[in-house]
């Protein structure tokens, strides 16, 4: 794994939030390196800074200071449109609450990132979407609306959407938090399988210790600082 | 991409049908009100414009002696057009391709008698051949078809020039007791009434189409002529319906002992190009007859009733337009604000998968546009049905100053409807843009988590 090139590099990243009159530190100088193809879990208690760390890596929040490199691009200096473009081409997101568009069917939800990607010809959308759905095992549900699916199926749709654009990196913020234990394990298994088959780097946050034995690397975070990192 | 965004926008409208319906109905109702007001204003404008242009003989361009509009009633001889000036005008008009016809007009006041009583009149002398074309002009008959309803008798242009045929307004004919016209009396001779206070005096007036005209001539003496009452008509205005008389210009010139005229009116084939024709005419007359005023019919002095009424109507329609604008802005803004707050997590998802702010704005603006467009279509259909139904009912109204009442009619105009729809669309897009802009600038992480609310 060490021979793989670096895909994420954080150097002394700090972030704090203002809550009324109070400044709440979320990241207190985090430095981190992730190699391409790693399957990494960020573990920590609620409020430890897991989500903030993922948000920084995913370019959906800006650090107060520090440097963030994603696939050799320094994202802290990018403007909003460039960051949007970077997210579209290189990063896939999986959210705790799935965040599917209820008026679009499964196929259309998965197609969303492709629509704005000029590098993906429209004629290939169907093939790509159906492949992504097949990879997550729900290609037979392509025409269903999200409210016709179970929680586990919805999260599979979200995973397919994250993978449809062939990103280098998939970020998942508590992807199993809204699922029962059976479905949680299935989702983690699926992510692992996709990590191996597609060689996609996964970085996900969780506080479920039962899932920890499945990952190749665990990063412990507490009070906005990385307290441990084990392969 | 645009097709997909449009599809998504259309589907999103159906998410909260009740809200979309309520917003749409508010816009539709507002647009219906605007259409009805605009339909009324457009018809009034067309009726008054054509009435002024043709029935009042103002034409599209009026040529007067300089300052005649202020001074003619005081010094008519001095501020009338001489023969030389009339000839200069005729020469200047020749070759102007947009000119349909020209007519000379002479106006004067005098007294009209029936043998016993006299009443003041205001006469208009007209070129008979032109009068026939003016009063039967398609534009006049299209917009002022009620004029024919209020005409009784034979038009003056159907009688020989030397007969002295006169058309009297309804009120003046009534004052004079002239209940029958020339053709109903088989050309009977003037009746001599020995005793004006006799019980049968009114009956005798009515049995006679002869009227006597008297006026001060322009050379300072008194002129008097006979006239033959051949037609009565309504001027449509209370203030002129008791005094108006129309006769041939030659007859009136004879009464006033002059060969001058008050003005020359010019009708255009295409009134939209009036300003070009006006400039050309001014330029030509500057060389040959510099002491003339060449005026557009919209000059308030030539069309005071048109100008005054239309100012009022424009204010009314403008007010309704402003109310509609406020309804559209508030409805769409409110709907868009609520929608985007509800869907902020979805906006966050869109942003996280790479949609930029512009695309997100486009999505919501398209939703607003679809809603506005559908509402405007519904409002337009409702407005057309309402106007059509009211037109069929022939409701008569009596506005102050109008003689005989008028039908409440509406004339929808495609250009006004399209312009209104475009403005409503722009307002809808603008208010959506304002409502959406604040949210799309939010931190994406906060949007996704719902923390920004």
Interchain contact, B346 vs A99, CB within 8 Å: yes
CA angle B53, B56, B57 (to 5 degrees): 65
Measured between alpha carbons, how far is A162 from A201 in angstroms, rounded to an integer? 12
Q: How many CB atoms lie within 10 A of CB A189?
A: 12
- Mean pLDDT for B116-126 is 94
Residue B207 has pLDDT above 90, yes or no: no
Distant-in-sequence, close-in-space partners of B411: CB < 8 Å, separation ≥ 6: B39, B42, B43, B46
Question: DSSP readout, B75-133?
Answer: STTTTSBPHHHHHHHHHHHTT-TTEEEEEEEEEEEEEEE-SS-EEEEEEEEE-HHHHHH
Q: Note the pLDDT of residue B162.
A: 86
Q: Note the pLDDT of residue B86.
A: 96
Residue B161 has pLDDT above 90, yes or no: no
Residue B59 has pLDDT above 60, yes or no: yes
Best of A92, A94, A109, A116 to mutate (most B CBs within 10 Å, chain B):
A116
Distance from CA of A92 to the nearest CA of B (A): 7
Measured between alpha carbons, how far is B430 from B424 in angstroms, rounded to an integer? 10
Tens-of-pLDDT digits for all 231 residues of chain A? 446 788 999 999 999 988 888 888 999 999 999 999 999 999 988 888 999 999 999 999 999 999 999 988 999 999 999 999 999 999 999 988 888 998 889 999 999 999 999 899 989 999 999 999 998 889 999 999 999 999 889 999 999 999 898 899 999 998 888 778 887 888 888 888 888 888 899 999 987 777 777 788 899 999 989 887 777
Q: Note the pLDDT of residue A219.
A: 92
Partner B contacted by A104 (CB < 8 A): yes
Q: Note the pLDDT of residue A45.
A: 87
Residue B231 has pLDDT above 80, yes or no: yes
Partner B contacted by A181 (CB < 8 A): no
Q: What is the pLDDT of residues B280-293, one digit of tens each?
A: 999 999 989 989 99
Measured between alpha carbons, how far is B298 from B293 in angstroms, rounded to an integer? 14
CA of A122: which chain B residue's CA is closest?
Answer: B1
The closest CB to that of B444, out of A61, A88, A108, belongs to: A61
Pick the range with the lowest mean pLDDT from A192-196, B107-111, B138-142. A192-196
* Positive/negative CA dihedral, A68, A73, A79, A81: negative
Interchain contact, A93 vs B352, CB within 8 Å: yes
- Chain A residue numbers with beta carbons less than 8 Å from the beta carbon of B357 are 80
Residue B399 has pLDDT above 80, yes or no: no
Pull the structure tokens for residue A20: 């009324």
Pick the range with the lowest mean pLDDT from A46-50, B169-173, B221-225. A46-50
Mean predicted lDDT score pLDDT of chain B:
89
Q: Which of B58, B111, B12, B88 is nearest to B302 (CA)?
A: B58
Number of A–B residue contacts, CB under 8 Å: 71
Structure confidence at residue B404 as a pLDDT band (50, 70, 90): low
Distance from CA of A192 to the nearest CA of B (A): 22
Measured between alpha carbons, how far is B74 from B64 in angstroms, rounded to an integer? 15
Partner B contacted by A23 (CB < 8 A): no
Bigger pLDDT: B404 vs B439 = B439
Q: Note the pLDDT of residue A1.
A: 45
* Interface pTM, i.e. ipTM: 0.91
Q: Note the pLDDT of residue B6.
A: 84
The closest CB to that of B448, out of A60, A92, A161, belongs to: A60
Instruction: Say whether pTM exceeds 0.80.
Output: no
Q: Note the pLDDT of residue B432.
A: 87
Interchain contact, B352 vs A112, CB within 8 Å: no
Q: How many CB atoms lie within 10 A of CB A107?
A: 20
CA distances (Å), B101 to each of B132, B273, B279, in order? 12, 15, 17
Q: What is the pLDDT of residues B354-380, one digit of tens each?
A: 999 999 998 888 888 898 899 999 999
Interchain contact, A111 vs B349, CB within 8 Å: no
Which residues does B contribute to its contact with A (CB < 8 Å)?
1, 4-5, 8, 11-12, 14-15, 345-346, 348-357, 359, 443-445, 448-449
Best of B11, B448, B450, B452 to mutate (most A CBs within 10 Å, chain A):
B448
Beta strand B292-296 with B99-113 is: unpaired
B120-155 exposure pattern, b = at least 16 Cβ within 10 A, e = fewer: ebebbbbbbebbeebbebeebeebbebbeebeebeb
Measured between alpha carbons, how far is B157 from B132 in angstroms, rounded to an integer? 6
Question: DSSP readout, chain A?
Answer: -TTSPEEEEEEEEEEEEEETTEEEEEEEEEEEEEETT-EEEEE--TTSSHHHHHHHHTTSS--SEEEEEETTEEGGG--HHHHHHHHHHHEEEE-TT----TTS-HHHHHHHHHHT-TTS-GGGHHHHHHHHHHHTT-GGGTT--GGGS-HHHHHHHHHHHHHHT--SEEEEESTTTTS-HHHHHHHHHHHHHHHHHH--EEEEEE--GGGGGG-SEEEEEETTEEEEEE-
Q: Note the pLDDT of residue B401.
A: 64
Q: Note the pLDDT of residue B413.
A: 92
Residue B2 has pLDDT above 80, yes or no: no
Region for A66 from its dihedrals, namely left if φ exceeds 0, alpha if ψ lies in -120 to 50, beta otherwise? left
């Amino acid at each position: 794994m060490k021979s793989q090139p670096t895909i994420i590099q954080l150097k002394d990243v700090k972030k704090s939030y203002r809550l009324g009159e109070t400044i709440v530190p979320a990241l207190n100088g985090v430095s981190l390196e992730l190699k391409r193809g790693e399957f990494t879990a960020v573990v920590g208690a609620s409020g430890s800074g897991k989500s903030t760390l993922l948000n920084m890596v995913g370019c959906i929040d800006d650090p107060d200071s520090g440097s963030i490199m994603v696939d050799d691009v320094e994202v802290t200096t990018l403007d909003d449109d460039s960051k949007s473009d970077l997210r579209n081409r290189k990063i896939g997101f999986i959210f705790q609450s799935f965040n599917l568009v209820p008026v679009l069917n499964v196929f259309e939800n998965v197609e969303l990132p492709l629509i704005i990607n000029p590098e993906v010809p429209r004629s290939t959308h169907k093939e790509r979407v159906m492949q992504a759905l097949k990879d997550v095992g729900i290609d037979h549900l392509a025409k269903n609306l999200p409210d016709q699916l179970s929680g586990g199926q919805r999260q599979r749709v979200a995973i397919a959407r994250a993978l449809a654009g062939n990103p280098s990196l998939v970020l998942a913020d508590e992807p199993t938090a809204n699922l029962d234990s059976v479905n949680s394990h299935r989702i983690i298994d699926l992510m692992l399988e996709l990590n191996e088959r597609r060689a996609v780097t996964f970085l996900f946050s969780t506080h479920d210790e039962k899932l920890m034995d499945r990952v190749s690397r665990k990063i412990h975070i507490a009070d906005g600082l990385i307290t441990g990192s084990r392969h | 991409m645009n097709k997909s965004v449009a599809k998504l926008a259309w589907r999103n409208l159906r998410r909260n049908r009740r809200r979309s319906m309520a917003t749409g109905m508010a816009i539709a109702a507002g647009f219906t009100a605007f259409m009805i007001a605009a339909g009324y204003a457009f018809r009034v404008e067309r009726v008054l414009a054509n009435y002024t242009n043709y029935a009042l003989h103002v034409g599209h361009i009026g040529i007067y002696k300089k300052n005649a509009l202020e001074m003619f009633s005081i010094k008519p001889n001095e501020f009338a057009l001489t023969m030389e000036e009339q000839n200069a005008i005729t020469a200047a008009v020749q070759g102007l391709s947009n000119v349909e016809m020209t007519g000379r007009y002479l106006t004067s006041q005098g007294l009209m008698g029936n043998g016993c009583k006299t009443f003041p009149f205001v006469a208009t002398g007209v070129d008979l051949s032109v009068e026939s074309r003016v009063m039967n002009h398609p534009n006049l008959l299209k917009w002022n078809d009620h004029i024919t309803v209020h005409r009784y008798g034979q038009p003056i242009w159907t009688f020989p020039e030397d007969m002295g045929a006169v058309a009297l307004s309804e009120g003046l004919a009534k004052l004079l007791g002239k209940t029958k016209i020339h053709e109903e009396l088989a050309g009977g001779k003037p009746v001599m009434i020995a005793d004006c206070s006799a019980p049968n005096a009114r009956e005798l007036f009515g049995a006679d189409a002869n009227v006597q005209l008297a006026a001060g001539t322009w050379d300072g003496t008194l002129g008097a002529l006979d006239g033959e009452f051949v037609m009565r008509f309504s001027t449509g205005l209370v203030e002129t319906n008791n005094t108006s008389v129309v006769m041939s210009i030659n007859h009136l010139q004879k009464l006033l002992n002059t060969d001058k005229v008050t003005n020359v009116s010019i009708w255009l084939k295409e009134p939209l190009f009036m300003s070009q024709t006006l400039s050309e005419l001014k330029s030509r007359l500057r060389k040959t007859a510099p002491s003339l005023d060449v005026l557009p019919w919209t000059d308030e002095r030539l069309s005071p009733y048109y100008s005054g009424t239309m100012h009022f109507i424009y204010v009314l329609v403008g007010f309704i337009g402003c109310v509609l604008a406020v309804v559209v802005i508030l409805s769409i803004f409110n709907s868009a604000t609520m929608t985007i707050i509800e869907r902020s997590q979805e906006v966050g998802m869109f942003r996280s998968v790479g949609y930029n702010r512009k695309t997100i704005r486009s999505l919501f603006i398209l939703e607003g546009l679809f809603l506005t467009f559908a509402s405007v279509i519904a409002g337009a259909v409702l407005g057309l049905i309402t106007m059509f139904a009211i037109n069929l009912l022939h409701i008569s109204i009596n506005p102050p100053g109008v003689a005989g009442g008028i039908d409440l009619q509406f004339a929808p105009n495609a250009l006004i409807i399209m312009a209104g729809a475009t403005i409503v669309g722009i307002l809808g897009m603008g208010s959506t843009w304002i409502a959406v802009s604040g949210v799309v600038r939010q931190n994406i992480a906060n949007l996704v988590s719902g923390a920004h609310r």
